[in-house]
Structure 1
Amino acid sequence: MTPDQITTSSEPHRLAGRTEPRGSRTGFPTWGAYAFGGIFMVVGILIMLVGLRVIPVDPSGVHAPWWVLTVMGAVFALAGLGVEGMATRQFLAERHRLSAALRHAGNPARQDYRWDPSGFAPPRWSRAVKAVAGAAGLSLFLSIFNYWAFATTSPVMVRMIVVVFDLVLILVWWEAFLRVGRAFKFGGSRIDFLEFPYSIGKPVTIRWQPSDGIGAAQGGHLTLRCVKEWYEQTGSGKNQSTHLVHEEQWSTTWQFAPNRSVMPGKRVDLRFEVPSGLPSTRLGGTSPVFWELEIHLDLPGFDFEETYLVPIYGA
């Protein structure tokens, strides 16, 4: 496949809209993540039991409908369950590194991550399911504020703020709809590694097998990039929050003109020139670094968007 235009960027900058961590770290030690998630789950379950009237309380001290308490407890419990899942992922990754250090001595790539040396196939449904679950969880969370804003006497400003969050919720559901639609329209796709691992400073040739449902594209691009990942804390005290940061270190992008035909099932070789001096993949460390191939094609109906991890390590 020959691009119509190639651009390269070596200026580090943050990538917007990133919510999926590639590294195994949660920003907490494993025991801390389990404890933090466990506290949320226990508190959430207790609030749910109060809302379901399993745990008796004085009704005069409850200033909201019982269903509001039940929903609030469910939100806390689901948030805790999500943290528990992240802690388990971190725990399993740590176990893998320990066992891989013995089984793959002298092979940093196999010690670092559970690579399939033949290639990488992103999951078809997991991100769609996560998007729907996230939208549903946000809906539950905002239902509480909608009750307080519109079913009780609340200032106009409070109602306006809630309406803004409701509009955000619509966008979240739209994104979930797009992910489900893409999962239905496009079958599984993958990239094949012609080398394993690839080396920084040497050409990288990746063989891409397009998904079903891809035909003549109305334009698009594909990008090979190096990304650093970390968690950043903002605010202080009760207002402190932690969020994921992905910062691009280097990238090369191929641009395609409209009416570029891509045959489903036909493998396409993609060759990139990767300069020396760039960071090596390090998915298992405390400061993850990874290389990814992002492909976006403008198609009738749902666009094709997919991201593949690429094992590029220091020579």
Structure 2
Amino acid sequence: MGGGLLKSTATDASGRELHDHESRIGAAGYGWTAVLVGLAFAAAGGTLLPFALAPLYEPGGPPDVTTTLVGVVFGVLFVTAGLWLAAFGLLGASRRRGVRRGREMYPGEPWRWDHGWDESGIRDDARRRPVVWALRLVALALFLVPFNAVAFSGELPWWGRLGFGLVAVTFDLVALYSLYRFARSLTQLLRYGSGGLAYGRFPFFLGEDLDVVLRPARELPGVPLKATLRCVLERYEDRGTRSEPSPTAVAYELYSDEKTAAAPSGVAGRGLGVGLSFRLPEGLPSTDLAGPPLTYWELEVRGEGPGADYEVTFLVPIYVRRLA
């Protein structure tokens, strides 16, 4: 096993907000309320679609293509988003039942029920990221179809085209950013593959050492690596206006420790890897993935490489040791 530790720095981040951080709340933030809201959205979309398609069957000339397109797209979006939300609600409700049963069976061992841990280690997120950004891109593209159609149809007065155009261009830029993130994550996956992190033990406890082995899928010649272990608190906050609150998942970094290591050497599948060790201070939050809110520890590994940077993130099982 190659690679060596070069430098270590630890900081107390004291709740520094993390921007552009991948949310892990997921289904944990949903339940039966989401199921009801999702079904209501789907029903609204299903009601809108027949009205949008009705002009196609009316005699007396061609229908208004722009109006029909806008109605159909909004109807499909409402149905799709509603069913998606309802599915997440069912998943979240099922997860909550499992958490309740786990708490009853293993009250002092949350790592048995707050997350589906593999005790030997975890795969990196290299395969998941392109899928996530592709779904976001498709959703944004569908959402933008009616706005762009109205803005550039020429059927509105100049002030209407200007208003719709500004909205469309703003969200078009967001879609372009999603396209960039998709392309970058796909390039990273093709360049480096999908590796993993082997745990030295399971679980890890605060006040003790975290020993793991990073195992890239392919060799990283000459790529120095920066590994950052951080404790993250993630919760929903109202980030809208006072009259129209908008619940948004926000992540805060409560603690971080950074190490720089030499690139791993060897042949993939034959000892390719680099060992990383962190001292886990006492008095920090334990992993709690049964929320929301969520508290979790993640290890981020980055390195500048030819053609594409190496960038992966792993969840690590770090808990408070509870004495019986």
Q: TM-score range by the shorter chain?
A: 0.7 to 0.9
Output aligned runs, 1:1-315, within 5 Å.
1-11=3-13, 12-22=15-25, 24-26=27-29, 30-53=31-54, 64-101=66-103, 104=106, 106-122=108-124, 124-152=126-154, 153=156, 154-155=158-159, 157-158=162-163, 159-212=165-218, 214-217=220-223, 219-236=224-241, 239-255=244-260, 260=263, 262-263=265-266, 264-265=268-269, 266-315=272-321
SS in 2 for 1:235: coil
TM-score where L is the length of structure 2 = 0.84
1-side partners of 2:265 and 2:49: how far apart? 52
- 2:25 touches 2:249 (CA, 8 Å); kept in 1? no
Percent identity reads 28
Deviation at 1:103, TM superposition (A): 5.4
Q: From the superposition, tell whether residues 92 and 298 of structure 1 become closer, same or farther in structure 2 (CA, over 3 Å).
A: farther
Asked if 2 retains the 8 angstrom alpha-carbon contact of 1:6 and 1:252, the reply is yes
Question: Cα deviation per residue 1:119-178 (whole Å; 9 max; x = unaligned)?
Answer: 112455333222111101101111211122221334264224432322222111111122
Unaligned runs of 5+ in 2: none
SS in 1 for 2:28: coil
> C-alpha offsets along residues 254-309 of structure 1, whole Å, 9 cap, x if unaligned?
2358xx45444413211001111000001113321000011112111222211111
TM-score by length of 1: 0.87
Could you tell me how far apart the structure 2 residues matched to 1:289 and 1:55 are? 53
Q: How far apart in 2 are the matches of 1:125 and 1:106?
A: 34
DSSP 3-state at the match of 1:226: strand
Judged with a 3 Å threshold, the aligned counterparts in structure 2 of structure 1 residues 129 and 286 are, in CA distance, closer, same or farther, namely closer
CA distance in 1, matches of 2:187, 2:314: 19
In 2, the alpha carbon distance for the partners of 1:164 and 1:285 equals: 33
Kindly tell me the number of residue pairs found equivalent between the two proteins.
310
Q: Which moved more, 1:245-254 or 1:173-182?
A: 173-182
Distance 1:205 1:129 in 2: 30
Structure 1, unaligned stretches of length 5 or more? none
Report the RMSD for the aligned CA atoms in angstroms. 2.9
Would the aligned equivalents of 2:286 and 2:318 in 1 still touch at CA under 8 Å? yes
Counterpart-to-counterpart distance in 2, 1:17 and 1:5: 26
Residue 287 of structure 2 aligns to a residue in which SS? Answer: coil
* Counterpart amino acid of residue 299 in structure 2: L
